[in-house]
């Protein structure tokens, strides 16, 4: 398999990503970025069991992401079962049966002509301007399912072929290790953004900003798509607020909170009765805050700098706070070579020390 220099660098970064000090679905964004360098596709998606056990989905920003909520509608799921051999909605069945990268012909129960007449296609793929798909089930070394990566191409693009399948299969062990859920640590995350929406105490949406709408879409995925009723979990949060107000809780008690984790980050939602709202017009303010894992933020930041591969790897470990001798051991280079790369990074990024480098890469956070 002959690779260009850009592809070789992307392959090396994916291999190194599997050996980092953090892993989990939160790394799907940098993973998909590198996959774009190795396999041509229009949109990538990742389907995996969430931390609550329910199926979670991450789709790159696209028409497909905007329409993802339709993929979870019962009628569309039923239609998909009629045309697709093993839907990701049957994750356990896919774990048992699906091995290796599969192209559209292997995924379909029916002909392409029957596919394009189905509700599944006409409510999901067609509005998203997608047709072809290549799918790969990821497993741990012990055979447990990690998630399903799906790459999509539009109707005018060439179909996925043997070379695409070979590359996807080559990457499978590193992808599975990188995306396998690990331990979450709030101390190793960064507050990324925050916004507010307003609802009635009974859960009817009154007002939201574009920023809050975007955060809700990331936090709740297909369960949020600008509808008037809030997701069930958020309605339960408002119920806890009503209960607290009726109980003997003091006025200065901490507001009830909801924590959500998915591939887009760590979301905290808190509900507070709006002081100025009284009587029939009373309302609740819901603040939603998104935290991102420091590693995911750092990888995305490094990606924008275009450092050579060795410097890219070295800058990562410097920002993570590892001493230089340990970095040299991890990179299998001498201390002198590590020192040389560090000086090259400082000169290239115009920083004088590790503190300045961390401030540049992590925004001073």
Q: Is residue 299 part of a domain?
A: no
Residue 263 is assigned to a structural domain of this protein: yes
Reported as half-sphere exposure (CB side, CA atoms, 13 A), residue 152 has a value of 21
What confidence score (pLDDT) does residue 249 get?
52
3-class SS of residue 190: strand
Banded pLDDT at 277 (limits 50, 70, 90): very low
pLDDT (tens digit per residue) in 133-189: 999 999 998 999 999 999 999 999 999 999 999 999 999 999 999 999 988 777 888
Q: Are residues 40 and 174 in the same domain?
A: yes
**Reported pTM:** 0.88
Shared domain check, 125 and 45: yes
Looking at 230, 257, 292, which one is the last position of a domain? 292
Q: Answer yes or no: do 38 and 122 share one domain.
A: yes
Q: How many domains does the chain have?
A: 3
The string of pLDDT tens digits covering residues 213-230 is: 989 989 988 778 766 678
Same domain, 268 and 148: no
- The secondary element (H helix, E strand) that includes residue 213 is helix 210-220
Verify that 314 and 244 share a domain, yes or no: no
Residues 174 and 190 occupy one common structural domain: no
Judgement on whether residues 76 and 129 belong to the same structural domain of the protein: yes
Q: Which of 346, 348, 269, 343 is nearest to 306 (CA)?
A: 348
C-alpha 101/C-alpha 171 separation (Å) is: 10
346, 257: one domain: no
State the residue range of the domain holding 206. 186-292
Domain of 314, CATH number, reads 1.10.10.10
Which residues, 6+ apart, have CB-to-CB distance to 97 below 8 Å? 86
Q: Is residue 89 part of a domain?
A: yes
What pLDDT band is residue 247 in, cutting at 50, 70 and 90?
low
* pLDDT tens string 323-355: 999 999 999 999 999 999 999 999 999 999 999
Q: Are 233 and 152 in a shared domain?
A: no
Please indicate, yes or no, whether residues 80 and 204 belong to a single structural domain of this protein: no
Residue 10: inside a domain: yes
In this structure, the answer to whether residues 242 and 349 fall within a common structural domain is no
**CATH of residue 53:** 3.30.450.40
Same domain, 209 and 282: yes
């Amino acid at each position: 398999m002959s690779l260009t220099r850009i592809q070789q660098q992307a392959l090396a970064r994916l291999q190194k990503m599997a050996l980092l000090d953090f892993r989990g679905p939160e790394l799907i964004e940098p993973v998909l970025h590198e996959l774009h360098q190795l396999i041509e596709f229009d949109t990538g998606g990742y389907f995996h069991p969430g931390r609550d056990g329910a199926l979670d989905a991450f789709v790159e920003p696209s028409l497909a992401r905007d329409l993802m909520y339709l993929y979870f509608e019962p009628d569309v799921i039923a239609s998909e079962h009629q045309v697709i051999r093993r839907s990701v909605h049957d994750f356990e069945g896919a774990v048992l049966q699906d091995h290796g990268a599969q192209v559209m012909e292997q995924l379909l129960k029916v002909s392409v002509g029957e596919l394009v007449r189905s509700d599944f296609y006409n409510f999901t793929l067609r509005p998203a301007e997608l047709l072809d798909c290549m799918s790969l089930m990821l497993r741990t070394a012990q055979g447990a399912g990690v998630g399903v990566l799906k790459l999509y191409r539009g109707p005018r693009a060439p179909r996925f072929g043997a070379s695409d399948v070979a590359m996807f299969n080559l990457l499978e062990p590193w992808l599975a290790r990188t995306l396998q859920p690990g331990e979450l640590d709030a101390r190793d995350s960064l507050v990324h953004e925050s916004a507010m929406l307003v609802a009635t105490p009974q859960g009817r949406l009154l007002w939201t900003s574009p920023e809050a709408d975007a955060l809700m879409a990331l936090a709740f995925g297909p369960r949020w798509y600008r509808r008037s009723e809030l997701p069930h979990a958020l309605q339960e949060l408002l119920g806890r607020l009503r209960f607290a107000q009726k109980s003997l809780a003091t006025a200065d008690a901490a507001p009830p909170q909801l924590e959500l984790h998915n591939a887009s980050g760590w979301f905290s939602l808190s509900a507070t009765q709006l002081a100025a709202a009284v009587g029939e017009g009373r309302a609740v303010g819901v603040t939603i805050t998104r935290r991102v894992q420091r590693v995911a933020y750092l990888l995305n930041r490094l990606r924008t700098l275009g450092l050579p591969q060795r410097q890219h790897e070295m800058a990562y470990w410097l920002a993570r706070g590892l001493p230089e001798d340990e970095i040299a051991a991890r990179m299998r280079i001498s201390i002198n070579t590590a020192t040389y790369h560090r000086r090259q990074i400082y000169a290239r990024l115009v920083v004088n020390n590790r503190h300045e480098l961390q401030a540049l890469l992590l925004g001073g956070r």
